[in-house]
Amino acid sequence: MMIEALLNEDVVREGDIAPDFELQRQDGGFFRLHEMLKEKNVVLYFYPKDSTSGCTKQACRFRDEYEAFKEYDAEVVGVSSDSLQSHQKFERVYHLPFTLLCDKGGQIRSIYGVPRRLGLLPGRVTYIIDKSRRVRAVYNSMSKPLEHIDTALEVLRNINSEQKQLA
């Protein structure tokens, strides 16, 4: 697995340039953040584990709202430390239309500064990144997985509005 990222000791915050990286997708290919941002805004969401209650609710809500994300010229990308096989099963069982990335060892989670809950559980954080690589919002809530979707759509609505005003 090749990782190209800025090593950053700090947490990635709103207004920062999103660190670039490359990770394996659930289909076995590779996802490169900078390549996706040439075409679309990105909703990058880190979640604890495939097929757990909160993570399944969150993924299914992203799935159910996927057309709205496309309307806002955005791609949803989920990241966890689960294996390729686990992601493939999660995608298949829940008919997920978006990319899941394998962050084995949690290197990208660490670069973005996604916290662990109680020092053990991987956190749940969503980053909304515009095409200029600017982090427009960060939403961190372990206990409210569905609010990640609402927050992302609201931020994307604002980005879309700004772009229309500039045109």
Residue 48 and residue 120: Cα distance in Å, rounded? 10
Token readout for 148 is 């990640």
Nearest to 100 by CA among 71, 58, 132: 58
Q: Which entry of 42, 55, 79, 155 is annotated as an active-site residue?
A: 55
The question of whether 55 is a catalytic residue gets the answer: yes
Q: Which residues pair with 25 in a beta bridge?
A: 101
Q: Which residues pair with 46 in a beta bridge?
A: 79, 125
For residue 17, the 8-state DSSP code is B
Cβ proximity of 113 and 8 under 8 Å: yes
Catalytic residue list: 55
